[in-house]
Amino acid sequence: MAVVAAVIGAVASVAGTVQSNKAQKKAAASQRRQNEVKRKREQKQAVREMQIKRSQQQARVQAAGAGGGSGEAGGAASLSSQFGSAVGFSSQMSGISNQISMFNQQAQQGQSLAGLGSNLFSAAGGFDAFKKSAEE
């Protein structure tokens, strides 16, 4: 009986460790994806800021000489674009953060299972239970 409990504990410990490792790898991959999305957004933001500054410069030039409606329309379009980008980015980050949380939770569950299996293995006599069984 002790040998069976020790085997069950050992198997549960290994299964929990494997589950934990898989979940931690998934969480790390999601974190890398999140960082990549953030990096791309920052690049786009830098380009956008450059375009805005260029447009502002053109607007100042036009204001000094001739007024035009296209500058105003471009500014409005830029604001709309920035708003859409921010909303999309926020949704994407939220989804990835949820994945990371889920994978971390799975890792914790795996670690708990591994700990439970280890405790059961030890309580059943551990390797000594196998030695006693072999001697009998």
**pLDDT, position 78:** 66
Please give the average per-residue pLDDT across 85-95, as a whole number: 74
Q: Where are the alpha helices (DSSP H) in the chain?
A: 2-65, 69-123, 127-135
In tens, the pLDDT along 43-63 reads: 788 777 777 777 776 776 677
User: Above 70 in pLDDT, residue 80?
Assistant: no
To which residue do tokens 């830098």 refer? 46
What percent of the chain clears pLDDT 70, i.e. is strictly above it? 73
Our count of domains for the chain comes to 1
d(CA 42, CA 34): 12
Residue range of the domain that includes 13:
2-135
Residue 34 confidence (pLDDT): 83
> Residue 87: which pLDDT band, with cuts at 50, 70 and 90?
low
